[in-house]
Amino acid sequence: MKQIVIILFCLFITTVSQVSGQISQDDTGYASVYTTKLDDPLAIYFTPDNFNIKTDGSTDVSDALQEAINKVQETVRFGIVFIPEGTYRISKTIHLWKGIRLIGYGNKRPQILLGKNTPGFQEGNEKYLFHFTSDRPRRSGQPVSDANAGTFYSGIQNINIKIAEGNPSAIAIRFHAAQHCFLSHMDFNLSSGNIGVEDICNEIEYCRFYGGDYGIKTKKTAPGWQALIIDSYFEKQKKAAISTEEAEMIIIRNHFKDIPVVVDIPQKRSEQLWISDSRFENISQSGIIVSKEKHPKTQVNIENVVCINVPVFLTFRTSQETIKSQGKLYHVKNLTHGLHYAVNDNSIVKTSQDIVSLTKLPPLVPSDILLLPSTESWTNLKSLGAVGDGVTDDTEVLKKAIANHKTIYLPSGHYRVTEPIVLKPETNLIGLHPSITQIILRDSTEMYQGIGTPLPLLETPVNGVNIVNGIGLNTSGVNARAVAAKWMAGTKSMMNDVRFLGGHGTYSLKGRDVPVYNDNRTADGIPYRKWDTQNWSLWITNGGGGTFKDIWTPSPYASAGLYISDTQTEGRIYCMSIEHHVRNEAIIDNVSNWKIYGLQLEEESGEGPYCLPLKISNSNNLLFANTFSYRVSRVTTPYPYAILTENSENLTFRGLRTYTWTKYLFDNTLHNATNGKNVRPREIALLKISNAPIEKLEPQFQVKKITEGFDFIDGATVDKEGNPYFIDYRWQRIYRWNIKKNGLEIICELPIFPVSLAFDTKGNLLVVTRFVQIESIFNRGDIKVISMDPNNPTETITELQEVPFSSVDQSKIKSIIYQSSRYRIEHDSETAIIAPIKTCYITADGSTIIPNTSDIAQTYSLKESKPNETVYIASNAAQKTFAAKIGEKGTLLEPRLFAREGEQDVLTDKKGNVYISAGNILIYNKEGDFIKSVEVPERPSSIVIGGANADMLYICARKGFYSVKIE
Cα 476 to Cα 120, 439, 444, 551: the distances in Å are: 48, 11, 9, 18
Contact 648, 619 (CB under 8 A): yes
Q: Quick check: helix, strand or coil at residue 67?
A: helix
Please give the Cα distance from 199 to 214 (Å, whole number). 12
Contact 151, 178 (CB under 8 A): yes
Res. 29 pLDDT band, cuts 50 70 90: low
Please give the Cα distance from 561 to 555 (Å, whole number). 7
Q: How many CB atoms lie within 10 A of CB 468?
A: 25
pLDDT, averaged across the chain: 93
What superfamily would CATH give domain 704-965? Answer: TolB, C-terminal domain (2.120.10.30)
How large is the average pLDDT for residues 410-439?
A: 99
Instruction: Say whether pLDDT at 858 is over 90.
Output: no
Cα 802 to Cα 851, 861, 864: the distances in Å are: 9, 20, 18
Amino acid 775: pLDDT: 59
Please give the Cα distance from 528 to 244 (Å, whole number). 45
Q: Quick check: helix, strand or coil at residue 701?
A: coil
Report the share of the chain in percent with pLDDT over 70. Answer: 95
Amino acid 25: pLDDT: 47
Amino acid 636: pLDDT: 84
Res. 2 pLDDT band, cuts 50 70 90: very low
- Give the right CATH number for 31-202 from 3.40.720.10, 2.160.20.10, 2.60.200.20, 3.40.1280.10: 2.160.20.10
Q: Which tens digit of pLDDT belongs to each residue from 866-881?
A: 878 899 999 888 889 9
Amino acid 354: pLDDT: 97
In the chain, where the domains are located: 31-202, 376-517+537-689, 704-965
Instruction: Say whether pLDDT at 605 is over 70.
Output: yes
Instruction: Say whether pLDDT at 118 is over 60.
Output: yes
CB-based contacts of 911-918 (< 8 A; 24+ apart in sequence):
914/872, 914/881, 915/943, 915/945, 915/953, 916/874, 916/881, 917/860, 917/874, 917/941, 917/942, 917/943, 917/955, 918/874, 918/879
How large is the average pLDDT for residues 14-30?
A: 43
Res. 127 pLDDT band, cuts 50 70 90: very high
Amino acid 779: pLDDT: 61
Strands 494-496 and 467-469: parallel
704-965 and 31-202 share a CATH fold = no
Q: Which tens digit of pLDDT belongs to each residue from 179-226?
A: 999 999 999 999 999 999 999 998 999 999 999 999 999 999 999 999
Burial class from Cβ neighbours inside 10 Å (0-12, 13-18, 19+) for residue 161 reads buried
What superfamily would CATH give domain 376-517+537-689? Answer: Single-stranded right-handed beta-helix, Pectin lyase-like (2.160.20.10)
Res. 7 pLDDT band, cuts 50 70 90: very low
Instruction: Say whether pLDDT at 10 is over 60.
Output: no
- The single-letter code of the amino acid at 559 is S
- The single-letter code of the amino acid at 585 is E
Contact 553, 500 (CB under 8 A): yes
